[in-house]
Structure formats: structure tokens, C-alpha cells
Amino acid sequence: MAQFWKPGTEKPRLIDDEEGGVLFLSASASSSSSGYGFASFEKQRQRLPVYKYRTAFLYLVETHATTIVVGETGSGKTTQIPQYLKEAGWADGGRVIACTQPRRLAVQAVASRVAEEMGVKLGEEVGYTIRFEDATSTGTLIKFLTDGVLLREMMGDPLLTKYSVIMVDEAHERSISTDILLGLLKKIQRRRPELRLIISSATIEAKSMSAFFQTRRRRGLQGEEPALAMEPAILSVEGRGFNVQIHYVEDPVSDYIQAAVSTVLLIHDKEPFGDILVFLTGQDDIETAVKLLTEEARDNRKSSSGLIVLPLYSGLSRAEQELIFSPTPRGKRKVVISTNIAETSLTLEGIVYVIDSGFSKQKFYNPISDIENLVVAPISKASARQRAGRAGRVRPGKCYRLYTEEYFVNEMAAEGIPEIQRSNLVSCVIQLKALGIDNILGFDWPASPSPESMIRALEVLYSLGVLDDDAKLTAPLGFQVAEIPLDPMISKMILSSDQLGCSEEILTIAAVLSIQSIWVSSRGIQKELDEAKLRFAAAEGDHVTFLNVYKGFLQSGKSSQWCHRNYINYHAMKKVVDIREQLRRIAQRLGVTLKSCDNDILVVRKAVAMGFFANACRLEPFSHEGMYKTVRTSQEVYIHPSSVLFRVNPKWVVYHSIVSTDRQYMRNVATIEPSWLREVAPHFYRQDGPDAMLH
DNA sequence: GAGCACTGC
């Protein structure tokens, strides 16, 4: 877990996380040790709650195939357990101990902390691997990696033979990668009885994890360690959190933004000093709340003087992030108004009060329309507890829940719906296929996705030519697509560009599509941004526009001033260059000839269509509002106002993705010719299919 | 003329 600068500790150093954003990590990378002055690492390690379970833990690992560790925040499990395992000899004889994390930044932070504690150079005995960055060597004994990277490793080594122990940390977050990994590890266990699994999970998930890893004892197997228990062991380790007092509203609130603002003022008025963290759902909510509090501070200086109000969400600029992590001046009170990002991804020090709206934005996937929606939905009890826990990191705290106790007890779901049941499964299915899991529907998941979603994914992969009639990966296309670490539609586009002679252009487009946005964030400077966009806009759509921007960026000598003048995000462009280079290497390895089509934009559009034909849309005749319908599912969609084709409304387009608000908006849109659809995907756009309207 | 919960390969 990433830790951030705590006032009064060592000066932070900057970690540029390749996403273009900078976060502050304390030099010691762990707040739990920072209060102990000059104590040696060994002393510090012994003071962690997990230390007194060391022997018990090692015994359980010795005697059980799977051990589930339930550990609260600050127990030290993530940094200590891999070291205990190493000390007990699990890394002897050329074997490696693996520890997975859901996030890249956590991988780097934990690895560097453990290397420091062990007094070794990072990348040697202790190393880490994240996408595009491998800091390991042949001598690496403890390896931290994202769960996605471990899944990728299985493609080359399906039984993960080099690992003696695999620890899956933060398993309760139930990301898609974690769930796939858990399902596969359970399979591996049957083939490799000597392998040990450690699943680290929050209390609430431990039981279902245990049930999942419950395996029948196998009989008559030669060489199996006789004493090995197949039933998972569960070890609970207490955390370092302080007590958090929970307050509920007496009656349901109708406006949680207003309620949150009032609660902030009430705390500020009545409670001793200590920073406040407010959980709302998204940028809009947050900016409304910030505005209300700022106005309050202006109009009524008495009740709100001394408040420093700060928004927090992932899209913040570098400068705004700095404010969040700067220490609160004496006599002031910081109020951070945040999305879910403060629930798991980053930790703010100094929070004593939490205000929980009870809602967050969550993704839901509808396999019928094949559209992912982002909607405001009630959080689970597990999330509510996690949010409350953020108040107890420095001293006993208070959590104000903007819902009733009755609602919490009787209505709130115990846990959230796992991501795999809320997502498009195209990437997930191809990954399992690449690992030789043919019976996707029968796969032993920790939580099964709906058959409709799986069938929809199989259908798209079949149409892309990635799967054959028997739902097996095709050669070479299917295997190539599976090997490229991108959405299969983008991978198909890249591979198709080979025969069309425009791979240089398509690699650029693929790189741009895999980052959020190349434009500077636009609030308040909309007119300037629109004008800047016009300088690059292409009639063929956003993809060709990206090529114009990239060309301009290279011609400027990758100049940050040039980006600034043109309202382009310099850090995003640097990342595009970096990702493009990685993709170029992968494409070359797969035999794609690097070739530019110069200015023959037609082939570029065709390559885009070869990847994204499933997202084809036609403008509704006589539509004055620019209404389109998807060719496949007849969904009503519109071109997003950020697209260069907004209000241009060409008759036929393909889109890269959809954002859903009041309407379904297509982001990143390219013009196509309708005749291409049947040409590039004849089986998909059959004469008798839903595409009778192709005529 | 309007919007971006959060990750990851």
C-alpha cells in the first residue's frame, strides 16, 4: 500500500509513475515505522502486529496448501510475510517467493521498502515487475508484481514453476485480474501440491475465499506430502488502526452533497482539530461541494474560517495533487473532498473525521446492449467500513454516515459485486483461451460472470477472427492478439495494419487510445481548447486527428512549450511516445512490418475499421439531433462533444468507447464506408442479420 | 454543446 508524506517525517521524494502523475512517497515508504526515530529496521519489524504471529504463520504455511491471512491496515503483513518466508527457506534452491498487488505504485513502494529493510539493492534479492518495467535479476528471491503481470507470466509458464509461494495481496478488492488469478491458482495447486498459496483478504471475504479454496483430498498420489492439509488455514492479524466512532443520520437525507457540507461545518464548529475526508461520487459532486464550502467561508467567516477545502480525484493536475499531500498548517483544518480513490488507492495522513455519502460511481455492463455504464450506486458494508477506517490512522476518529443505521444494517449489501460480474469480458476470455482454458463457461471462478456476458465476448472474439468455430484461438491471429497487452480490438487493428501498409500510423493511434486524453483538462478554457483542436482536426475523425497531433509534437522536437501553446497535455504525449515504442517492439516480434502509408489516410481508416467494426453506427436518417444507432444492437448513441466529428455527423462511423450519462456518447470516432463492414467481417454482418439496414 | 469511479497487461 502506498504511503504518503506525513507532516514532520522525512522529506518526500517524487515518484513519477509513468502515468504522467506524480505522487508523494515518504522516503521510508511506511508511516507505521516513521514514529520510531532511529530504531533499527529489525526493531521496527518486531514492533509490527504481524510479528507475534510469525511462528504460527510459518507453521500454517508448512502444513496447509492455502493460508488466508486476514489483516487490518497497518498489520505489516505485506512487507513482513515475504521476508518471513524467505527467512524460513522458501526461497532456497533457486525458488522465488511472489507477492502480487492490484496496483503498480503499491508494487514499487512495497518492493523498495522490503529491499531497504533487508539491506539489499532493489532489483537484486528483492525485485519487482510491472508492465514495461522489470526490476528483477537471476538472483531475485522475493518478487513483487501486479496480478496482471503474473497472469501474463502464466502464458510462458502455465504452472508458474519458479515460484514456491505465491501471495495474493488485497484479494478482497476482487479486481478482474485477481479473480482470474485465484481461479487459475486453484487449478495449478492440483498439479503442484508443493506450491503454497497465501491469500490476503479483509475479514468479510475470508469465509468465501476459504470455501473457494476448499479442495477435496486426493488419494493415491505418489510423493505428496502426507501431512498437507487441503483445507485452507485462516490467520487473523490485528491492525494498528484506532477506534472510530460511527454516527448515523436519524432520517434519510435527500441531498447528500448539502448534507456533507453541513456536516463539515458542524464538525469544524464543534470538534477538536483534525482533518476531514469526505467521500462523494465524482468530479461534479466534488466541485459542487467545494464551491458551497468556499462560498460559506466567504459569506460566513466565523463558522468556516480556517478551513482549507481541497478536491481529490484521479484527473487532477500535478499542482493540485501537491496541495492534497502538503501538511496542514497549524490552526487550520484541511477538508479533502474525494472520490473512491481515497478508499483504496491512496492514503491521506492526518484524517480524523470521515463523512461517507454512502454512494460511489460503479461500472455496470449490459451484455444485451454491449455497453458499460457508469452509475451512482450505493456502496457495500465492506466499503463503508473501509471508508470509516480512514479516520483512525493517527488517533481515535469519527465517521459520519449520511444514511441511517437501519439502512446500514438491513439494506446495505455485505460486499460489492465483483468487477468480473460488471464488465465486458472480451479481454478476460481471450486471456483464458491463451492459457488453454477451453471451457470458459465451466471455469471455476471465485464468482461466475453471467453466461450472457461470456457469450457476448465469445461472439466478438469470433467475429474478430481470434476464435474459430470450436471457440479455440486461431493461428496465428488469435495467438498474436492474445500476446499484445491491449484490448483485443486494438490488437486486431494493429495486426491488420500490416497487410494495409500503415503500421507506423496505427501504432501511434493505438498508443493514443490507450491513455485517457491527450488534451489538457478543459474546465474554464473550453473555447481555447476547441480552437486548438481545430488546428489538428481531420474530416476522417479523431484517430486521424491524433496522427496530426503526434506529427506536430515530433516536429516541435517534443517541446513542452509547443504542447502548452496547443492545449495538449505534455505528460500524456510523453507517455504516448513511450507506449508507442513498447508496442512497436511487440509488433515487430510478432512479425508486423513497420511501414508508413505516408498520406494515404484511406488505409488507416480501413485498419481502424478492421479492429472496431463491431462498434459501427449509422446516423439516423432525418435526425436533427445527430442521433446514431449501433448496427449490432440498435442502441441510440451520440457523438461526444469532445470529438472533432461532433456536429459534423457523418453517416457511418465506428467508435472506440462509449461514456454513458444522460445519453450514450461515443468517444474517439472515425468515419467508415458501410461496404467495409461486410468486407472485413462478413460473418458478423450477414445479409439476414440485424444489418438489413446496411443497404 | 457537454463530461471523465478506479485499476491493469
Q: In A 112-171, which Cβ lie closer than 7 Å to strand B?
A: 130-131, 146, 148-149, 151-152
User: At residue A313, does pLDDT exceed 60?
Assistant: yes
A313 touches strand B (CB under 7 A): yes
* Higher local confidence (pLDDT), A38 or A645: A645
Average pLDDT over residues A346-352: 85
CA A614 → C1' B4, Å?
24
Closest CA to A380 of A365, A398, A362, A366: A362
Strands A275-279 and A333-338, sheet pairing: parallel
- Residue A47: HSE in the Cβ half-sphere, 13 Å Cα cutoff: 12
Closest CA to A356 of A329, A374, A338: A338
Q: What pLDDT, on a 0 to 100 scale, did the predictor assign at position A195? A: 95
Cα separation, A608 vs A321, in Å, equals 36
The nucleotide minimizing the C1' distance to residue A104's CA is B8
A13-237 classified as CATH 1.10.4190.10: no
A245 touches strand B (CB under 7 A): no
The nucleotide minimizing the C1' distance to residue A103's CA is B7
Q: What pLDDT, on a 0 to 100 scale, did the predictor assign at position A18? A: 25
SS3 A3: coil
Q: In A 649-678, which Cβ lie closer than 7 Å to strand B?
A: 659-663, 665
The nucleotide minimizing the C1' distance to residue A661's CA is B3
**Topology (CATH) of A244-419:** Rossmann fold (3.40.50)
Mean pLDDT of chain A: 85
A648 touches strand B (CB under 7 A): no
Confidence of residue A27 (pLDDT cuts 50, 70, 90): very low
User: At residue A250, does pLDDT exceed 90?
Assistant: yes
Q: In A 62-101, which Cβ lie closer than 7 Å to strand B?
A: none
SS3 A622: coil
The nucleotide minimizing the C1' distance to residue A646's CA is B1
In chain A, pLDDT over 90 holds for what percent of residues? 55
Average pLDDT over residues A464-484: 92
Crossing angle of helices A176-191/A426-434, nearest 10°?
A: 20
**CATH assignment of A424-478, among 1.10.760, 3.30.43, 1.10.10, 2.40.50:** 1.10.10
Q: What pLDDT, on a 0 to 100 scale, did the predictor assign at position A588? A: 93
> Among A54-68, A172-186, A230-244, which stretch is predicted with the lowest mean pLDDT?
A230-244
CA A289 → C1' B5, Å?
17
- Measuring alpha carbon to C1', the residue closest to nucleotide B5 is A361
- Measuring alpha carbon to C1', the residue closest to nucleotide B8 is A148
User: At residue A6, does pLDDT exceed 70?
Assistant: no
For A430-446, the pLDDT digits (tens) are 999 998 888 888 899 99
Q: Where are the domains of chain A?
A: 13-237, 244-419, 424-478, 608-694
* Higher local confidence (pLDDT), A20 or A80: A80
Closest CA to A583 of A656, A508, A516: A508
Q: Across the strands, what pairs with A144?
A: A99, A128
Average pLDDT over residues A89-102: 95
User: At residue A220, does pLDDT exceed 60?
Assistant: no
For A192-219, the pLDDT digits (tens) are 999 999 999 877 677 888 889 987 655 5
- Measuring alpha carbon to C1', the residue closest to nucleotide B9 is A485
Average pLDDT over residues A499-514: 94
Q: What pLDDT, on a 0 to 100 scale, did the predictor assign at position A10? A: 38
Q: What pLDDT, on a 0 to 100 scale, did the predictor assign at position A7? A: 35
SS3 A411: coil
A362 touches strand B (CB under 7 A): yes
Confidence of residue A522 (pLDDT cuts 50, 70, 90): low
Handedness of CA A144, A145, A151, A157 (dihedral sign): negative
CA A81 → C1' B4, Å?
38
CA A566 → C1' B4, Å?
21
The nucleotide minimizing the C1' distance to residue A487's CA is B9
The nucleotide minimizing the C1' distance to residue A625's CA is B1
Task: Kindly state the cell numbers that stand for A318.
Answer: 500535478
Q: In A 451-510, which Cβ lie closer than 7 Å to strand B?
A: 485-487
Cα separation, A599 vs A602, in Å, equals 9
The nucleotide minimizing the C1' distance to residue A638's CA is B2
CA A581 → C1' B3, Å?
30
Q: What pLDDT, on a 0 to 100 scale, did the predictor assign at position A296? A: 80
Q: In A 320-359, which Cβ lie closer than 7 Å to strand B?
A: 339-341, 345
For A355-414, the pLDDT digits (tens) are 999 999 988 898 888 888 888 899 999 899 989 989 988 889 999 999 999 999 999 998
In chain A, pLDDT over 70 holds for what percent of residues? 90
Cα separation, A327 vs A311, in Å, equals 15
Q: In A 517-556, which Cβ lie closer than 7 Å to strand B?
A: 517, 521-523, 526-527, 530
For A53-89, the pLDDT digits (tens) are 999 999 999 999 999 999 877 788 899 999 999 999 9
Average pLDDT over residues A161-189: 93
Cα separation, A585 vs A270, in Å, equals 60
- Measuring alpha carbon to C1', the residue closest to nucleotide B6 is A341
Q: In A 571-610, which Cβ lie closer than 7 Å to strand B?
A: none
Q: What pLDDT, on a 0 to 100 scale, did the predictor assign at position A516? A: 81
Cα separation, A413 vs A528, in Å, equals 46
Handedness of CA A469, A472, A478, A484 (dihedral sign): positive
> Among A98-102, A157-161, A302-306, which stretch is predicted with the lowest mean pLDDT?
A302-306
CA A217 → C1' B3, Å?
54
For A261-299, the pLDDT digits (tens) are 999 999 998 999 899 999 999 888 998 999 899 888 777
Nucleotides of B under 7 A from a protein CB: 1-9
Domain A13-237 and domain A424-478, same fold? Reply is: no
CA A514 → C1' B7, Å?
14
Is residue A142 within 8 A of residue A126, CB to CB? The reply is: yes
Cα separation, A635 vs A627, in Å, equals 10
For A565-616, the pLDDT digits (tens) are 898 988 889 889 988 998 999 999 999 999 999 889 999 999 999 999 999 9
CA A311 → C1' B3, Å?
17
Cα separation, A247 vs A408, in Å, equals 11
Q: To the nearest 10°, the Cα dihedral for A572, A577, A583, A585?
A: -150
Q: In A 290-309, which Cβ lie closer than 7 Å to strand B?
A: none
Confidence of residue A341 (pLDDT cuts 50, 70, 90): confident
Q: In A 415-434, which Cβ lie closer than 7 Å to strand B?
A: 427
The nucleotide minimizing the C1' distance to residue A484's CA is B9
The DSSP-derived string for A650-690 is -SEEEEEEEEESSSEEEEEEEE--HHHHHHH-TTTS-TTST
User: At residue A8, does pLDDT exceed 50?
Assistant: no
